[in-house]
Amino acid sequence: MVTGSAPISVDVLNFLKVCFCCPILEGYGQTESSAAATISLPIDKESGHVGGPLPCLKMRLADLPEMEYLSTDLPYPRGEICF
């Protein structure tokens, strides 16, 4: 099974994994460009993240100085995710 669109809570995701006894993959991506730019792996047992980028994809965090979002912000870098 695959979930995407809005984040799913870790508790709900873990409950669904137990109920259906199958891997549930969580993806992330803009609908207008790539609905699954990143996706968790079937062997990944940890919930609460969307996995890494697909092998055919490069991603970067671009600065948005007009909004004061910088990739150098600490402890949480901010910016626009570009595929």
Express each pLDDT in 29-40 by its tens digit: 776 666 678 888
Label residues 41-66 b or e (16+ Cβ within 10 Å = b). Answer: eeeeeebeebbebbeeeeeebebeee
Q: Lowest mean pLDDT: which of 7-11, 20-24, 29-33?
A: 29-33
Structural domain boundaries enclosing 81: 55-83
Q: Where are the alpha helices (DSSP H) in 1-83?
A: 10-20
Q: By three-state DSSP, how is residue 64 classified?
A: strand
Q: 48 and 71: one domain?
A: no
Same domain, 18 and 48: yes
Total-model pTM: 0.65
Domain identity same for 19 and 45 = yes
> Looking at the 3D structure of the chain, how many domains does it have?
2
Question: Do 72 and 45 share a structural domain?
Answer: no
